[in-house]
Structures are given as C-alpha cells and as structure tokens.
A and B are shown apart, each in its own frame.
Chain A
Amino acid sequence: MPHAPFIIASFAVTGVGISWLLISSYLAMRRAEASADELRQQP
C-alpha cells in the first residue's frame, strides 16, 4: 500500500483546518475591533 496519499491527506487536513481557523479568527477580530473603534468615535 503506497503511503504518500495518506501523508498528503494528513498534512492537507491539518493545513486546511488551521488556515480556516486562523483566517476566520483574524477577520472576526479585525471586524469587531473596527466596529468598536468606530462606535467609540461617535459623539
């Protein structure tokens, strides 16, 4: 049984999972902090 597809699948699952989490967390943080700053500047 060739091992390469199993290794590629493991690295791909990890890469996709972590990348999705990093990007979604970063965008949510930027959005929330921008909204909070915008509200603070309102009189």
Chain B
Amino acid sequence: MHRFANPARFLRIAKPLTPWLLWMGIALTLGACLWGAFFTPTERLMGDTVKIIFVHVPAAWLGMGGWTGIAIASIIQLVWRHPLAGVSARAIAVPGATFAAICLITGSIWGRPTWGTWWVWDGRLTSMLVLFFLYLGYIALSNASSEKGDTSRVADVFGIIGAVNIPIINRSVIWWESQHQKASITLGGSSIDQAYLVPLFVSVAGFSLLFGALVLMRMRTALAEMRIEARMRRMADY
C-alpha cells in the first residue's frame, strides 16, 4: 500500500489508466443502457418501468460504494498518514454525491408509475436521502478545512462515522416495513431473471469504470493544484 504513497509513482499509473477507464466505461455503459432499454422483455408486474433498473441500481451501489471508499481512505489517512488517502477521499465525494442523487431521482421517477407516489418516508428511501446529505456535509467540511490549510482531520472522522449509514441502507428493507422491494441480488444468488441480470451487470461494470475514471481525474486535479500551490510558495519565498 505504501508503495503508492508517492504521488509521482501514483501519477505514472493514473495517467495511462484514466483514458482506458473512461472509454471502456463509456462503451460498456452505453451498450448496457441500449441493451436494457431496447432488447429486454417487459416485466409481468412492473411493465416497462423495470428498464429503469439499468441506471437506478448501479447509481445506488456506487453511491454506497463511494462512501465506503471515503471511510476506508479516511481510516488510512488518520492511521498511516498516507498522503494520497485524503486526496482520494475528497476525490470520491462529488461523484459519490452525484450517484446518490441519481439513485434518489430515478427511484422517485420509478416510484410514480409502480407505487403511485413520487416519495414515501420509509427506511430505504430515507436512509439513502441521509447518505446524500452526508455527502454534502463531507464536501462542505473538506472544502472548509482545505481552505484553512489543515489536513481535514474533521472530514476524516466524519467520513468514518458516516459509514454507519451504509449497513442501515442495506438492511433497511429487512428491519422496517418498506414499499421498496427486498434485496434481489445477494451473496447467495439472485432472484432476477437472466434476461435482466446480464445487462444489469454490464451496466454496473460500465458505471463502475466511469466512477473510477472520475476519481482518478479528480485526484490528478487535486495533485496538480497542490504542485501549483507548492511552486507558488517557493516563488514567493525568493
């Protein structure tokens, strides 16, 4: 892990990797969305609205996965003072918030024709909304602390404490009575028909690659800004 603590070594890997993740992600995501929208059958109970699964589910998983990444990076930053851990946590925040917002909006759009309402205050929807607000809080905290020039320890602690919400989102449909369906994909298997499952996994893979590309681009931006700041300080000293 500490091998990658050196920003120069990280950039040697990140620079060629970014376009690969980006173009593979775009190709897989577009392919999966077209496959899902035009070449999957109408579902017996949900009708054609089932096609929303191909954007809603990856957005939900990546929204939750993003915060898990922030929590892991925050622990590494606090314990080992890994120079890139804090940068990566901050780079995840905006893409994570965007995916959480997309999950909430597409879920609401799905809810209208299937449940007859845009929104219900049940466990799954409310805990996902809490995750979105946690992202906004984390972004505000890390921006405020970077402006003051410290190492955003408050944001790291916030990132770790906020991870409590991830298992709550996951278990919410079991713990509380919910409009939202129970988990269709678990470690033990899937109750989704193959006709939907295969394009869904392609879609998850595509969106995950795009998420990776976004995080790398934002990390590269942060590292370049740090180089500029360091250079300006040196020039001011002369």
Kindly list 7 other residue pairs between chains A and B, CB separation below 8 angstroms, not including A10-B106, A10-B109, A28-B221. A3-B113, A6-B49, A6-B112, A14-B106, A18-B102, A35-B228, A36-B225
Could you list 28 examples of A-B contacts with CB < 8 Å?
A1-B113, A3-B48, A3-B49, A6-B52, A6-B109, A6-B110, A7-B37, A7-B52, A10-B52, A10-B55, A13-B109, A18-B29, A18-B207, A18-B210, A22-B210, A22-B213, A25-B217, A25-B218, A28-B217, A29-B220, A29-B221, A29-B224, A32-B221, A32-B224, A32-B225, A33-B221, A35-B228, A36-B224
Interface membership of chain B positions 66-78, coded 1 if the CB is closer than 8 angstroms to chain A and 0 otherwise: 0000000000000
Closest to A34 in B: B224
Chain A binder among B93-101, B129-137, B155-163, B166-174: B93-101
- B 191-233 to A, binary, CB cutoff 8 A, 1 in contact else 0: 0000000000000000100100110011011001101100110
Structural contact, A36 and B227, CB atoms closer than 8 A: yes
**Are A4 and B48 interface neighbours, CB within 8 A?**
yes
Residues of A at under 8 Å CB distance from B?
1, 3-4, 6-7, 9-11, 13-14, 17-18, 21-22, 25-26, 28-29, 32-33, 35-36, 39-40, 42
Which residues does chain A contribute within 8 Å of B59, judged by CB atoms? 14
Q: Give A20's nearest chain B residue, CB to CB.
A: B98
B-side interface residues toward A, CB under 8 Å?
A: 22, 29, 33, 37, 47-49, 51-52, 55-56, 59, 94-95, 98, 101-102, 105-106, 109-110, 112-113, 207, 210, 213-214, 217-218, 220-221, 224-225, 227-228, 231-232, 235
Known pairs A14-B59, A18-B98, A21-B98; A7 contacts B213 (CB<8 A): no
The answer to whether A7 touches B48 (Cβ under 8 A) is yes
Q: Is the interface of B mostly helix, strand, loop or mixed?
A: helix
* Residues of chain B within 8 A of A7, CB atoms compared: 37, 48-49, 51-52
Residues of A within 8 A of B98 (CB): 17-18, 21
Q: How far is the CA of A21 from the CA of B101 in the complex (A)?
A: 13
Q: How far is the CA of A40 from the CA of B178 in the complex (A)?
A: 57
A6, B29: Cα distance in complex, Å: 19
Chain A residues with CB below 8 A from B37, complex form: 7, 11
Contact yes or no, A36 B228, CB < 8 A: yes
6 closest pairs, A vs B, by CB?
Answer: A32-B224, A3-B48, A14-B55, A36-B224, A10-B106, A25-B217
In Å, the complex CA distance between A36 and B229 comes to: 9
